Structure 1
Amino acid sequence: MTDPAPKHDVFQAIADHTRRRMLKMLADEEMSIAAIVGCFPITRTAVNKHLQVLADAGLVTSHKIGRETRYKLQPEPLIVLKQWLSFYERYWDDKLLALQKYVEGDDV
């Protein structure tokens, strides 16, 4: 049987600034929820909700060590984002090349 589709996709998960900050923090190290809460001016419940959205998108995993829940980044789902962005790179490359030609005076 195949895995069920995630509740949230990667784009929904990273749409929020707080969740993007959480991902950046978790890229460096696995962290407890208490440590994550200490980095944000929001309640533990709000942090839990953000982490749940990230988990639903497959971007973080959690495991318990005693009474503590620890979270870790799972970067694989970000490949979808990278693929989507890479499609549009050619447009940026064209625009940057045109800007370079303009600045260097090739277009005058």
Structure 2
Amino acid sequence: MVEHDSLPLDTIFHALGDATRRAMLGELAAAPRSVGELAEPFAMSLAAASKHIKVLEKAGLVRREVRGRTHMCSLDPAPLMTADQWLGVYRRFWTGRLDTLEQLLRAEDAPRPPRAVFDQSGSS
């Protein structure tokens, strides 16, 4: 089983637990964005967007670079690999279970050979 320090995973999953932050990560996966650009689709203030970005930064998912008065954010996907490795244990578990279920269902649906019919006198 993959062992990880729980604090980084807790922080990553906390950051991913909010739909706004997940949408921001989706935007950053396409290209770096300013805080204003990240706030715009949600009609939120820059301060509110900055709070979300700070959570993402704490999880290591976002890097912020200050360019004059503009704060540019970019995705750092490395922590997502940590989360993916942890989830991989359970992915393998469920894949194995689903493979077993598929085999059982195929066996159940497979044609069965006809049974021998015996008459009442005991001869076939």
The TM tier, using the shorter chain, reads: 0.7 to 0.9
Task: Work out which structure has the larger RCO, using CA pairs closer than 8 Å and 6 or more positions apart in sequence.
Answer: 1
Q: Which runs of 5+ in 1 are unaligned?
A: none
Letter matched to residue 49 of structure 2: V
Could you tell me the TM-score, scaled by structure 2's length? 0.73
| Count, aligned residues | 102
Alpha-carbon distance in structure 2 between the residues aligned to 1:95 and 1:87: 13
Question: Which structure shows the higher helix fraction?
Answer: 2
Alpha-carbon distance in structure 2 between the residues aligned to 1:49 and 1:68: 16
Letter matched to residue 83 of structure 2: L
- Residue 42 of structure 1: CA displacement? 2.6
Letter matched to residue 108 of structure 2: D
Structure 1 stretches of 4+ with a deviation exceeding 3 A read none
Alpha-carbon distance in structure 2 between the residues aligned to 1:84 and 1:96: 19
Alpha-carbon distance in structure 2 between the residues aligned to 1:95 and 1:33: 44
| 1:71 paired residue among 70, 73, 88 | 73
- Residue 50 of structure 1: CA displacement? 0.4
Q: Which runs of 5+ in 2 are unaligned?
A: 1-6, 110-124
| 2:101 paired residue among 83, 88, 99 | 99
User: Which residue in the other structure is 2:119 paired with?
Assistant: none
Letter matched to residue 74 of structure 2: K
User: Which residue in the other structure is 2:61 paired with?
Assistant: 59
